[in-house]
Amino acid sequence: MHCKYTDLYGYLVGMDKLAAIALVILWSSGFIGAENGTAHAPAHTLLGWRYLVAVAILGAWCWYRGLRTTWAGVRRQSVLGFFSQFLYLACVFGGVGLGVPAGTAALIAAMQPLVVAGLAVRVLGEGFGVGKFVSLAVGFGGVVVVVAGDLGGEGAPWFVYLLPLAGMVSLAVGTVLERKLQTTEPIPLAMLIQACVAAGLFMTWSAALGDAAPPVTIGFWGAVAWLVVLSTFGAYGTYMFVLRRSGATRVSALLYLTPATTMVWALLMFGDPITWTAVAGTAISALALCAWRRPTRPADRTSRSSAGMHESPSPTPAGSCPRASNVDG
């Protein structure tokens, strides 16, 4: 029996590690897709059609799988869609469109783990020791090193920088709310509801400005396909999976590695050079993540029980998927 649960633990840990790597790579793809797409259309038009296409695909999949939800589920996911999809992307893309350098926007977005950590302690009651705060602070320092070259540019008026800041806070709020609400909707169904909210709001925005019609160019639709497949299904789907499995602060901490990973994408696709400061910052962030305390093994929990009290683990109900504790680390 002990071997059975050890094997299950090893499988789940391996799956979590693969999901974490995928999250960093796929989340970074959104910056590349944004750079490609906004060269052909305004950000709100690009995002509106991105979500319309995503709604069509997700709707067909959920219908095929027979996935249904309740009105309470629709309300929960609509709130999350507003914060985590619409408001987050509207603020970040809007700030970049008004002159905030992409590296500076990435730096501001990378402050999210600190905000999530504070909210998680207050809202979720998650345990969060001094060591974790130190790890997050060191990781943030690594991100500062990575994007330091972007901070000295001309930039935009100071108040425009409040847009990516608001976007970062919006995603942090959505992340903590997802854990607080303890959502049970399957990920494809949750993504469908959230995408419907984002599509409706972005298309309303585009229609109000008179540019809802999509450009009939290969570049635009190529960018839409990139964002739908890699950023919507890949990045956000993986984000929700890691969030539900590992907790709010841990999934946010992984975003520390996205600015440097984006530079690798830019090197491969646009030929942008990678500087030594980028390498140094990536190393600092990676060390901070390595210092993050690993999940406690089931055997370790048993060994910490009272002397003489030998408790056998309760079996997981057949057909269910074990879920990580709300307490990160």
- DSSP per-residue codes, 138-198: HHHHHHHHHTGGGTTS----GGGGHHHHHHHHHHHHHHHHHHHHT--S-HHHHHHHHHHHH
In angstroms, the Cα distances linking 168 to 173, 222, 244 are 9, 27, 20
User: In this model, does residue 326 exceed pLDDT 70?
Assistant: no
Spatial separation of the C-alpha atoms in residues 292 and 280, rounded to whole Å: 19
Mean pLDDT of 222-228: 93
For 304-323, the pLDDT digits (tens) are 444 334 433 333 333 333 33
For 170-198, the pLDDT digits (tens) are 988 998 888 788 788 898 999 999 999 99
Query: Encoding tokens for residue 236?
Result: 């956000």
User: In this model, does residue 66 exceed pLDDT 50?
Assistant: yes
Nearest to 20 by CA among 251, 290, 293, 326: 251
For 102-154, the pLDDT digits (tens) are 667 777 777 777 777 777 776 766 666 677 778 778 877 877 777 766 655 55
Does this model's pTM top 0.85? My answer is: no
Is 143 in contact with 281 (CB distance < 8 Å)? Answer: yes
Q: Looking at 71-80, 108-117, 287-296, which range is the least confident one? A: 287-296
Nearest to 179 by CA among 232, 126, 235: 126
